[in-house]
Amino acid sequence: MAGPARDYERLGEVYAIYVDPAAIGTGAGSLLFDAALDELRAAEAMLWVHPDNALGRRFYERKGWTPDDEYRYEEVLGVTAPEVRYRGILK
């Protein structure tokens, strides 16, 4: 899922990418991520990820995205969770 950044003008945002654990390592995540980026109409985009999500963070970093040390807390299904922002340049 991707679209205009919710809190930042002129940025696109990747809202979420979820891959069935059985499909990790098959390229499904890359296909979903690339399709989400194709939908964005921005030169730069961002996404938020839980700081302890090592698998997700490695995935984004392999794609050339970097954390920018911006943190927030987001409520998801009644639970407040920390998130770190990643930024990427779209090609």
Q: What angle do CA 46, 77, 53 make, to 5 degrees?
A: 45
Residue 28 phi/psi, 5° resolution? -65, -40
Q: What is the pLDDT of residues 40-64, one digit of tens each?
A: 877 789 999 999 999 999 999 999 9
Sign of CA dihedral 44, 9, 13, 53: positive
Provide the domain count of the chain: 1
Q: What's the residue count for the chain? A: 91
CATH number, domain at 34? Answer: 3.40.630.30
User: Is residue 9's pLDDT more than 90?
Assistant: no
C-alpha separations of 85 from 24, 67, 73 in Å: 22, 6, 11
Residues 6+ apart with CB under 8 A from 20: 28
User: Is residue 10's pLDDT more than 90?
Assistant: no
* 66 token code pair: 């970097």
pTM (two decimals): 0.79
**Domain around 16:** 2-89
* 18 token code pair: 């979820």
